[in-house]
Amino acid sequence: MSDTQILDKSVDESKKFFKNEYIPEVNIYIDDANLYLEANIPGASENSVDVSVEKNILTISAAHNPVAESENLALQYAEYEPGDYRRTFQINESIDVDQIKAVVKNGVLYLNLPLRQPAVKKIAVAAN
């Protein structure tokens, strides 16, 4: 086996591992009331974006579909392949999952994850 074959095989294996699946890069911010997540999903259509929470796992996903060929337009060269963005995060009970909001703008998914505010219970004090 030559060094070239080993390198080619490694390249092919890495392409298989990542082929058609993209892991979006994220920035996460926090303040007193919210956790904010920004995920880069360039090329994903707004209609394909999905955000879900199940068993404290937040999942973001979207489909990446390059421009389709038409009668007047033929693909000459492609570095982008059709595929899906997908990333998961474990969240805890401090996130109010019923109030999560998501917006897609210019290839970025913005999530606002409100933090549950601790309940303050007023205790009546009796005088003796």
DSSP 16: H
81-97 residue pLDDT tens: 778 999 999 988 889 99
Single pTM value for the model: 0.72
Residue 53 contacts residue 37 (beta carbons within 8 Å): no
Which residues are CB-contacts of 52 (< 8 A; sequence separation ≥ 6)?
A: 58, 59
- pLDDT for res 68: 61
Q: For the chain, which domains are there? A: 17-68+75-114 (2.60.40.790)
98-122 residue pLDDT tens: 999 999 999 999 999 999 988 888 8
14-73 residue pLDDT tens: 333 456 788 899 999 999 999 999 999 988 888 999 999 999 899 999 998 766 656 677
Which residues are CB-contacts of 28 (< 8 A; sequence separation ≥ 6)?
A: 35, 36, 37, 38
